[in-house]
Amino acid sequence: MNIILNGEPHEVPEQTTLSQLLTQLQFDPSRVAIEHNLEVAPREGYHSVVLAEGDQIEIVHFIGGGSLF
Amino acid sequence: MNDPLHVAGMTFNSRLLVGTGKYKDFHETAQAIEASGAEIVTVAVRRVNVSDPKAPMLTDFVDPKKYTYLPNTAGCFTAEEAVRTLRLAREAGGWDLVKLEVLSDPTYLWPNNPETLKAAELLIKEGFKVMVYTTDDPYLCKRFEEMGCVAVMPLAAPIGSGLGVCNPYTIRIIIEQANIPVLVDAGVGTASDATIAMELGCDGVLMNTAIAGAKDPIRMARAMKLAVESGREAYLAGRIEKKLYATASSPLDGKFF
What CATH number should be reported for the domain holding residue A42? 3.10.20.30
What is the distance in angstroms between the CA of the first residue and the CA of the last residue of chain B? 44
Between chains, do B58 and A6 touch, taking CB under 8 Å as contact?
A: no
Burial class (CB in 10 A: 0-12, 13-18, 19+), B5: buried
- Domain housing A9: 2-61
What's the predicted TM-score (pTM) here?
A: 0.92
Spell out a b/e string for A15-25, using b for 16 or more CB atoms within 10 Å of the CB, else e.
ebbbbbbbeeb
Q: For residue A39, is it within any domain?
A: yes
Q: For residue A69, is it within any domain?
A: no
**Is B99 among the residues known to form the active site?**
yes
pLDDT tens string, chain B, 257 residues long: the values are 689 999 999 999 999 999 998 898 899 999 999 999 999 999 999 999 998 888 888 888 999 999 999 999 988 999 999 999 999 999 988 889 999 999 999 899 999 999 999 999 999 999 999 999 999 999 999 999 999 999 999 999 988 899 999 999 999 999 999 999 999 998 999 999 999 999 999 999 999 999 999 999 999 999 999 999 999 999 999 999 999 998 888 888 888 88
> pLDDT digit string (tens) for B187-210?
999 999 999 999 999 999 999 999
How many separate domains does chain A show? 1
Which among A6, A61, A69 has CB closest to B92? A61
Q: For residue A19, is it within any domain?
A: yes
Q: For residue A67, is it within any domain?
A: no
Residue in B99, B125, B129, B142 annotated catalytic = B99
Q: Which residues contact B146 (CB under 8 A, 6 or more apart)?
A: none
Helix (H, G, I), strand (E, B) or coil at A54: coil
The ipTM of this complex is 0.92
Q: For residue A52, is it within any domain?
A: yes
Q: For residue A50, is it within any domain?
A: yes
Residue B39 vs residues A46, B33, B45, B60: alpha-carbon distances, Å = 32, 8, 19, 17
Q: For residue A66, is it within any domain?
A: no
